[in-house]
Each structure stands twice: as structure tokens, then as C-alpha cells.
Structure 1
Amino acid sequence: MAKATKKQALGRGLSALLKDPDNDIKSAEDKNADKLVGHIVELELSSIEVNPFQPRTSFNEESLRELASSIRELGVIQPITVRKLDFDKYQLVSGERRYRASKLVGLNTIPAYIRIANDQESLEMALVENIQRQDLDPIEISLSYQRLLDEIQLTQEQLSDRIGKNRSTIANYLRLLKLDPIVQTGMRDGFLSMGHGRALINIEDPQTQLDIYENILEKSLSVRDTEQLVRSLNQEKSKDPSPKPSVSKTYKKGIKEFSEYLDTKVSISVSKNGKGKLTIPFTSEKDFERLKKLIKGAE
């Protein structure tokens, strides 16, 4: 989390640059345009408009609330992409769910990549150059690969030729983006290696992923230990065809009320014998104190 915050802070200087009407950047040839390509910039949400030609017109409200809860806890992990329309005016290229969820949370700014006129080749070169750096974490590499596929519209085979990596290597990195955001943050902060992440991908249930993640941190599990643990869990799952107990409507309603009252995503797990536990996440010591006061005030 600290690492992601630092990267977003770097974009604040660029944000000030974009607010200077005397040095408005309109094309890739303009002064300071090179400072934008391939960098994260903090943009005000009020300066961004949605793309009227966005093919996706409906967004699942529950899914948006879940994403909003994740953003409240972890921030926006993957920046959106916008294109510059005019001075301090931008249009979404990709990331509308992140944009909408950030507005739900009440954020004023969002990390973004800015596309400007005639910057297609510059963007591609910057991304490819960025990938070749030695200090990137696995998630940073995965996000760069995904951007090249989405924004430059390359196939995995074309991307393989451009960066000199096997398609299987690219595919393995891209799969990391399917991990739970908390696990991704752990990889970005250096708590997990790519080997740990590749092992966790084989666990479909997000909560089980997080349980193993905590286990890795607490017991300093090696990649081999993690792979064995994942294999054991999957074998147990295949041997036990009995379905997990479903969460009743009463529990679902209660969890919703808890989450709304505490302003954080509360989760529940119920065992076969009817026993269960509530999980209330917090983002800092200050947030913990806030939750404690709310809970004590409800007594």
C-alpha cells in the first residue's frame, strides 16, 4: 500500500503542470509532453467525462459497491486511461468501473495515464522501455503487458515479438491480475514472489486465497511449501463433493447493515455446524479507532 501511494504522489507534480494554461500540452511534440507518456498522473474526477461510445452501458451495482469497498481499503491499484480533449478536460479510454467506484467512495482524484494526440508510438515505446527495467515488481510488469494488449491493441504473439519474451511467460504474468487485490498489493510490496502468486492463482475462492496469503506471511512459507498447500486444498476439495453451507437471507441482510453502518466491507464465513465468524477490515490505526468507537457506540 505504501508503495502504491508513493507512485501516485509522483504524479502530483504533473497534475500542477497540467493546470498551467500557458503551457497546455496538446500534442506529443509540445514541451513537457514526454513527461506524461508512460507516467501516472493524479487527475480530478470532475475533469473526466465518460466516453459516449463506450460499448458497455450497464454496470452491476453490487459489483461496483464491492470494487468501491476495495478502493476504500487499498486505493486504485490499476490507473485508468484517459485521452486529453482540451485544457483540463479528459475522456475515459478504459477503466470506467474504477472511475465510477471511485466516485462512489467520494474520492476527488484518481491515478490515470493520459493519452495525447499523436502519442501512440511514444506510448508504446515508453511502455516497452518500462518493461525492460530491472526493478519492476511482477504486478507492474503484468499491468504494462495488459496496457500494451488493450491500448496498442497487440496480440500476445505480437507482444512476444516486441519485447522478446515467450508467450507462455506473458500469459503467466497476465494471470497474476486475476489474484485478489490484497494479494496483488502484497506482491507489489515485496511480501510475495511471483512463484507464490502463480501458486495462488490455482485457488479460485478469494477468501481462501487471502487465508493462504496470511499463512505465507505468518509462517514464511516458501514457494514449494505454498504449492504443496494449494495442491492439498484442491485435493481435499475434489474429495469432498458436499456443498458449502449457503449464507441465509438473515445473514446477508445483517452483513449489508454492518457494512453500511461501519462504512467498510464486512464479510462472513459459516461452517457446516452453523458456527461462523465476522471479518471487519481496517486500513490504519486511525480507521481501527473509528470502527471501535462505532461498535462501542452501538452497545
Structure 2
Amino acid sequence: MAKATKKQALGRGLSALLKDPENDIQSATDRNADKVVGNIVELDIDAIEVNPFQPRSNFNDEALHELASSIRELGVIQPITVRKLDFNKFQLVSGERRYRASRLVGLETIPAYIRIANDQESLEMALVENIQRQDLDPIEIALSYQRLIDDIQLTQEKMSERVGKKRSTITNYLRLLKLDPIVQTGIRDGFLSMGHGRALVNIDKKADQIALYEKIVGENLSVRNTEQAVKAYREGKKGSGKSNKQTSKKPDFVDDTIDKFTEHLSVKVGITASPKGSGKITIPFHSQEEFKRIQKLILGQ
């Protein structure tokens, strides 16, 4: 108990240091920066603003009040992480649920790790920490991955290393963003699982995606049943053309595998095959980097 009291007192001391205008720390090289950056400090909750880069957009009210009750009884066990913006002004990097719950119970201060980061670093930290530690829905995770690609310019391989996920896992999440917004909302609201979404993404026409989505919800279809429905849809679509040559069905070993090629390589693989089984595989690439990525996946070098 004495150890905990000493640590809390130290946090209050660092808080006083941050409020001293003569110790306005703006970089890791400033005087006394080593005493603050990376340490737990009791910060005034009113000195902290929410992070505009926060990927989570839905906060369950019931879960938030349960967390607030826990904080009222036990305090904030896990500190939030903030970055310093200005004199005695901070911005959340991670821990918005704890921050919101602490406000609900009327806390005036909250324990926080302090980081010094620019906007890009803050965005990356917020996205990576949330992907790794928060219970985001599949669409929120997909949007976080997409922002790491668009705003941080991370390749899927680099992102795989940064977040500790397989590249194929990241690809599966990103493909969900091809779904119609109505279907995406269904996943976010829990009407569909990620498995349902992965099956539906193989339907290009958005109106048909929505029609099957309504069927899934209305008939409570399993993921397996959904996959079968998508396969039947695609086979029916192939049989609706005018030319026998255009609509000739590929051998089952090809038809069952083409999506796996596309998913594994993250490019739209083309496969043509005769009824006798001969054919060719076409793998497009749009840059030297993409060529090398595909080469590594295929050849392992």
C-alpha cells in the first residue's frame, strides 16, 4: 500500500511540474522531459481533449456505465495515453472509454502516460493501439487498416509487422470495405458476422448484395449457407449470357480456387480453362513493388 501511495504522490508531483510555465516541455530533449515522457502522470481531466483520429465511433452506453461503476469503486487501473499539444494541454491517443467513463463519475484527474508526437505519429499510435487492444467491430478495424494505408502510407506487409497480424488477415478486413454501406452497417450492428461479409464481397452488384443480406437476416442463414447462396448466384449469373463461349462453365477445380488465388495474392487473378482442364493463370501487377510482393508470396524469396 505504501508503494502505491508513493507512486501516486510521484504522479501528482509530475503533474505540478507540467503546470509550471518554466517547464513547458515540447520535445524529448527539453529539460525535465525524461521525468515526464513515458511516465504515469495525474492529469487534470479538463486539460485533455479527445482524439479526432479515434477509429472507434460506437460506444456502448451500457458497457460505458459498467466501466464507470468499476472506476467509481476501484479507480482507473490502466492509465490512458496522451500526447502533449501545448502548455498543460493534451490529446488522447488511446483510452477514450476510460476517459469518458471517468468523466461520467466526475473524476477531476486521470492517470496518463505522456507521449510527444506529431499528428502523423499520433494517428498511427491511435490506430495501431486500437486495433491491438480494443474491441472494434470488423468494419472499424477495416477502416483503421485503410487509414494506415492512406494516411501513413504503410504497405500491407509493413502494416502486418506493425500490428502483428498476418497479411491475409488484413486483406480479408480490407475487402469488407467493398461491401455496400447498408451491408457494412449490418456487420457493425451485429446482424452479420465477418464470415458473412467475406462471402458477400464476392458479389459485385451492390443491389444483389443487399438482396442476399436481407435473405441472410430474414432466414438466419449460417456462413456456410451464405457461401452456398453466393456460389449459386455466381453460377446463375454466368449462365445468363448470350454466347455459349462467353458463359462456358469453368471446371470445378478452377471455380473453387480462383477466389483463393485472389485473396492470397491481393490482386484480381484471371484463370481461363477448357472443359478438358487445360488453361492459363494471369496475375496482373501495377508496380515493381507489387511484382516483388507477389514474387515473394509465390516463390518465398
Larger relative contact order (CA 8 Å, sep ≥ 6): 1
> Structure 2-normalised TM-score?
0.45
Higher Cα radius of gyration: 2
